Amino acid sequence: MAPEIETNVNNYTRFFAISREKTKPALKNKTSLVVATENVPGALYKVLGIFAIRNINLTKLESRPSKSKPWEYVFYTDFEGHIDSEVYQEAIKELEQVTTFVKVLGSYPQAE
């Protein structure tokens, strides 16, 4: 990545490189994932509850239209922590039971 790519000194946009290799846990980490749910009342509530009961701090939740199902949405989520930790592995297993799709995009060092 090119140094000093930003054009504004107050720009807080973060950039990261994508790789198929897993990162090793850093002191502070973030993990990004995408989930899809059935279009029924309470579906997102169940997803959020999985994180809440494990005290996993979500830092982002963004809905985007599904590319494959009109009028349905997928949810991009970031949380604090590295996917290799047992508590996060348990959360992913439970997410797989209450969602129609789960994809971990990866873990990476958290920006300061």
Catalytic residues: 13, 15
Judged on CB neighbours under 10 Å (0-12, 13-18, 19+), 43 is: middle
Contact criterion met (CB below 8 Å) for 68 and 95 = no
The string over 90-102, giving b where at least 16 C-beta atoms fall within 10 Å of a residue's C-beta and e elsewhere, is ebbebbeebbeeb
Cβ-Cβ contacts under 8 Å for 92 (sequence gap 6 or more) = 33, 83, 102, 104
Distance (Å, rounded) from C-alpha 88 to C-alpha 105?
A: 13
